[in-house]
Every structure is written in C-alpha cells, then in structure tokens.
Amino acid sequence: MYSKFMPISFDLKKEKEAHNCVNYFETGLWDARALVSSKQALSAGFEKVFCIELREKWITIGNDVFKEEIENNKYHLYHDDSVHMTKYLENNPDFDKKTMFFLDAHVDNQNIENYTKICPVIDELLAIKSLTRKDHVIMVDDLRLLKQPYPWGETGYGALNFMEAIMQIIKEINPEYQFKTLPGHIEDDVLCAYIQLNN
C-alpha cells in the first residue's frame, strides 16, 4: 500500500540492517504529526537521525514532536535550505559512520519561501560526494518526477537529464555503487544506491 503523502513504503529497518547503516539523514521533513520518514527512521533504530527542512512551519512542529529525541541527541533538525547541506556534513564525525541518505527536498507548494533551487538533489549529492566515506547508502525519492524534464519546474540546472546526472554523480562517489528501486508514492519511485557488502 502506497501513502499519498509519505515517500517510504518499504521496510526502512530492513534496508538499514541489510546495508549496516548507523545514521540516517534526510532532506525535507513535512508535517511531523504524520508518519513522516524521520519517525520511521527513529523507530528503525538508527543511532542518530538528521533532517534539514526549509519551511518554518514544519520546523516548529518538528521541534515539538521530536522534543525528547532532540534533547537526547538522537534527532537533529536543521532549519535551512538543503543546498547548504555540506556545512552540516563536513567535520562531523557522525558521517564517518555509514549513513543512509534519503533525498526528498523540493518546492511543491507556494508555502515554501526563500529557496535557492526548486529541486536541489544535485547539490545534495555533491555534498555527499564531499564526504571522506564513500559507501553511504543514497536514496533519491520521486523518480516518477525526476524522469521528466524540469522536475517541479526546476530550471536552475538548465536542460539537465536529472536521472543521468544523479547516477553519474553517485558513480563518481564510488564506481562500485549498484542501483535498485524501492516503492514510494508508487512502485519503483525511490532509487537506492548501495555498495554490495562482502558477507
């Protein structure tokens, strides 16, 4: 069953365990009173969960909903545009540990203001690329839209083929990355890039 609002329709805990991920970082929170992916990540047992969100309303609600987890240093909520993601990653030892990144930031309504890019996924991937560790799990949501020209009306990257660019950057991080898709809003709507573990 696919959720109208939530991008994760797969077993997050199963993916965490299959890839030995310790931490979770997502871009885009939405309304934390719902079953948002941050809640799913906390329930899945990640050591720490990080989220960057631009809309002030969602930050205010998130700070309330996740008050205890924030106080216990389990949840970190950043009020910022995800094009600035690098500053939250660099020099942070948490990202020396294997992290699952879930990239889902985009401007899809008029209530989001002061954004730099409508669909900042390329900037987000470049932030991940800057990390020393090169085997993080990278998930990109909304493939159904990213396969279209100018997703959400994004023109800041020119006439970019987003899917080709996404996969190219991931392969530049590490040529050993493999790709699969997972269910999101619809079947096969989440790209998952991972390095095969040697068991």
Q: What does the alpha-carbon distance between residue 133 and residue 88 come to, in Å, rounded to a whole number? A: 15
pLDDT digits (tens, 9 = 90+) for 136-195: 999 999 898 888 888 877 888 888 899 999 999 999 999 999 999 999 988 999 999 999
Q: By three-state DSSP, how is residue 68 classified?
A: helix
Q: What pLDDT is attached to residue 1?
A: 37
CA quadruple 120, 126, 129, 131: dihedral sign: negative
The strand order across the sheet containing 99-103 reads 75-79, 48-53, 23-27, 99-103, 137-140, 190-194, 178-182
* pLDDT surpasses 50 at 42: yes
Q: Which of 180, 133, 164 is nearest to 21 (CA)?
A: 133
Q: What does the alpha-carbon distance between residue 21 and residue 137 come to, in Å, rounded to a whole number? A: 8
**Per mean pLDDT, which range of 87-91, 92-96, 107-111 is the poorest?**
107-111
Q: Which of 10, 7, 6 is nearest to 180 (CA)?
A: 10
Domain residue ranges in the chain: 23-195
**Per mean pLDDT, which range of 6-10, 64-68, 174-178, 188-192 is the poorest?**
6-10
Q: Could you confirm whether domain 23-195 is CATH 3.30.360.10?
A: no
Query: Looking at per-residue confidence, does 105 or 3 come out higher?
Result: 105
